[in-house]
């Protein structure tokens, strides 16, 4: 083993150069990484439900539906209708939007003397402007079941403009374009954005802001812990360098391989900041304990700590690898793969880069590891380590009993965990995205569509009867509003 680390010390500048060059290269890849907060895209390619959803999107013009909510005192005014038309026309001009439905563009089916008449609910070129026309429009909307609670809220204070994205559309780019163009209209109504494209984009921004906010907090906390542990600048800087390099390498590799940051993988930097410092701490601590010549101390320490550090890292890596085999979603598998890879990188850096760096810059702590007090003990030992040691040895049975109780409670708590996939809960109360989702749930039946795909002859009575029975069943369960061919055929 000494031969290995004698070579490490001999090639220390080569190792440092390779690490720095690799860090520069991989660091330049980080800005290219994409953020993907779409849970559907995380389903396996052979998932039958995901395949059916894509098929529906390809056949029927997209299943990525967004909504713009206009909230006002009364929807049935000429001014509000004009604003609805403005938004509708604006969205129709956006490339990548396959369809737009609103109060001013929705189709209206009526039974006339000559049979079924299909037209628009509102004449876009001649919007209602008299009290009689507006009252007639309101009566049409609230008389049937196709508009109330679907396009206009039951109290008439909110209306939505629904748009569908093409199957190959760039969700984030289009969502941002929709917001920019709508805000440019400077509408007096309260405007909210809902639906999967808008929520996915909001979550992407949330992921970026979380990384920006949480990484510095984690960084500061680890700095504090390292400082109290080592009481030296080197003891703080070296472990942090290892953790930061591990993060840069992993995110860079993710970018190179085409992987994306998701609602799960965005936690990788936080995890590596904590895990990545551990192995460097072991190495530094052991080097500090060996007296004598710097190079000899490094070789002796590394020979001693080499196997224990590897074993410690392997247990952690094994835990992360379990995500690969135990998860159905690709974003959780990616988390396992790249967190395990980051841990392995931190291990390699701790075993080879840290000794090379210490030897190259003479960073061995030549003083006592921590400042001694009059009692001859370090501050950390006197105020934390020794009191903890006394407590453990003096209250062995009590501590053991306490942990047994905690374990039993924890096992019981496992059965009380509730699964919740409502993405709305990712946002704080008061967040515009959550407000929009709450309005959609309260006034328009929600934003989560359920598609039932029928294959066969749509003119067949048997198929139509099956559709009718399906619709009746869906009314009994928690499906708020239904859209199908039946209302047209049956003039509902």
Main-chain phi, psi angles of 126, to 5 degrees: -145, 75
Whether the pLDDT of residue 180 is over 80: the answer is yes
The predicted structure's pLDDT at residue 251:
94
pLDDT value at residue 145: 65
| pLDDT computed for residue 110 by the predictor | 67
Task: Please tell me the distance from the alpha carbon of residue 479 to that of residue 444, in angstroms, as a whole number.
Answer: 11
Closest listed residue to residue 466, CA positions, set 57, 489, 458, 477: 458
Residue 363 confidence class, pLDDT cut points 50, 70, 90: low
What are 151's two structure tokens? 């396009």
Question: What is the CA 359 to chain-centroid distance, rounded?
Answer: 42
Bridge partners of residue 165, in order along the sequence: 64, 97
d(CA 319, CA 339): 10
Residue 132 reports pLDDT greater than 80: yes
Among 451, 454, 455, smallest CA distance to 482 is for: 451
What is the rounded average pLDDT of the residues 160-170? 83
Backbone angles phi, psi at 54, to 5 degrees: -65, -35
Helices (H), 108-156: 131-143
124-139 mean pLDDT: 86
Q: Taking the domains of the chain in order of start, what are their residue ranges?
A: 2-41+214-414, 456-492
Q: What is the mean pLDDT of residues 127-144?
A: 85
Question: Phi, psi (5° rounding) for residue 328?
Answer: -95, -35
* Nearest alpha carbon to residue 189 among 147, 161, 154: 161
Q: Is the torsion defined by CA of 367, 371, 375, 380 positive or negative?
A: negative
* Model confidence pTM above 0.85: no
CB atoms within 10 A of CB 130: 9
What CA–CA distances, in Å, run from 181 to 86, 161, 457?
10, 14, 42
Question: What is the mean pLDDT of the segment spanning 15-24?
Answer: 94
Beta-ladder partners of 195: 66
Asked if pLDDT for residue 63 goes beyond 70, the answer is no
CA angle 151, 435, 96 (to 5 degrees): 55
Mean pLDDT lowest for which of 142-146, 394-398, 414-418, 487-491? 487-491
**Would the pLDDT of 370 be above 60?**
no
Q: Please give the angle made by the CA atoms of 422, 426 and 429, to the nearest 5 degrees.
A: 105
Least confident piece of the model among 70-84, 330-344, 369-383: 369-383
Largest CA distance in the chain: 106
pLDDT at residue 192 in the model: 92
Residue 214: predicted pLDDT: 80
Q: What phi and psi, each to the nearest 5 degrees, are found at residue 66?
A: -115, 160
Tokens at 233, concatenated: 């600048």
Query: For the chain, how are helix, strand and coil distributed in percent, rounded to 5?
Result: 65, 10, 30
Give the orientation angle of helix 330-348 with respect to helix 268-289, to 10 degrees. 20
Q: In the chain, pLDDT over 70 holds for what percent of residues?
A: 90
Q: Is the pLDDT of residue 460 over 90?
A: no
Segments in 114-232 forming alpha helices (H): 131-143, 171-184, 196-230
Averaged pLDDT of the chain = 83
Contacts of 451 (CB under 8 A, 6+ apart): 52, 53, 56, 63
- Topology, domain 2-41+214-414: Multidrug efflux transporter AcrB transmembrane fold (1.20.1640)
Q: Do residues 420 and 433 make contact, with C-beta atoms less than 8 angstroms apart? A: no
| CA–CA dist 320, 244 (Å, integer) | 19
């Amino acid at each position: 083993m000494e031969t290995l680390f004698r070579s490490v010390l001999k090639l220390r500048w080569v190792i440092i150069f390779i690490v720095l060059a690799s860090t520069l290269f991989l660091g330049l890849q980080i800005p290219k990484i994409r953020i993907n907060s779409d849970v559907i895209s995380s389903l396996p390619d052979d998932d039958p439900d995901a395949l059916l959803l894509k098929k529906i999107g390809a056949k029927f013009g997209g299943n990525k539906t967004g909504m713009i909510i206009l909230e006002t005192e009364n929807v049935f005014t000429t001014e509000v209708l004009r604003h609805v038309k403005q938004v509708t026309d604006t969205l129709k001009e956006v490339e990548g939007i396959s369809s737009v439905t609103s109060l001013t563009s929705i189709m209206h089916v009526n039974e006339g003397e000559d049979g079924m008449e299909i037209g628009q609910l509102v004449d876009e070129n001649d919007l209602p402007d008299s009290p009689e026309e507006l009252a007639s429009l309101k009566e049409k909307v609230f008389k049937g079941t196709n508009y109330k609670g679907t396009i206009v809220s039951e109290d008439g204070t909110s209306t939505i403009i629904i748009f569908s994205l093409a199957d190959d559309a760039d969700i984030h780019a289009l969502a941002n374009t929709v917001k920019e163009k709508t805000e440019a209209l400077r509408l007096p109504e309260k405007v909210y954005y809902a639906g999967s494209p808008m929520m996915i984009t909001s979550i992407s921004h949330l992921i970026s802001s979380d990384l920006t906010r949480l990484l510095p907090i984690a960084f500061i906390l680890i700095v504090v812990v390292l400082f109290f542990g080592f009481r030296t600048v080197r003891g703080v800087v070296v472990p942090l360098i290892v953790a930061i390099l591990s993060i840069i390498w992993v995110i860079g590799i993710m970018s190179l391989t085409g992987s994306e940051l998701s609602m799960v993988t965005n936690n990788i930097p936080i995890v590596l900041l904590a895990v990545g410092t551990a192995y460097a701490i072991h190495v530094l601590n052991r080097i500090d304990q060996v007296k004598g010549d710097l190079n000899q101390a490094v070789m002796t320490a590394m020979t001693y700590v080499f196997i224990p550090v590897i074993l410690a890292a392997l247990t952690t890596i094994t835990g992360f690898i379990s995500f690969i085999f135990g998860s159905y979603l690709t974003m959780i598998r990616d988390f396992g793969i790249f967190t395990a890879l980051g841990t392995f990188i931190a291990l390699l850096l701790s075993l080879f880069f840290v000794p090379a760096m210490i030897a190259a810059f003479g960073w061995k702590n030549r003083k006592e590891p921590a400042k001694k007090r009059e009692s001859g003990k370090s501050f950390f030992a006197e105020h934390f380590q020794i009191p903890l040691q006394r407590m453990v040895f003096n209250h062995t049975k009590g501590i053991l009993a306490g942990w047994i109780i905690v374990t039993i409670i924890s096992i019981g708590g496992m059965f009380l965990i509730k699964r919740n996939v409502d993405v709305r809960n990712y946002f704080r109360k008061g967040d515009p995205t959550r407000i929009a989702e709450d309005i959609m749930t309260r006034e328009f039946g929600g934003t989560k569509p359920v598609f039932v795909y029928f294959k066969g002859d749509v003119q067949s009575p048997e198929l139509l009867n099956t559709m009718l029975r399906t619709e009746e069943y869906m009314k009994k369960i928690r499906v708020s509003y239904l859209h199908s061919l039946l209302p047209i055929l049956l003039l509902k």
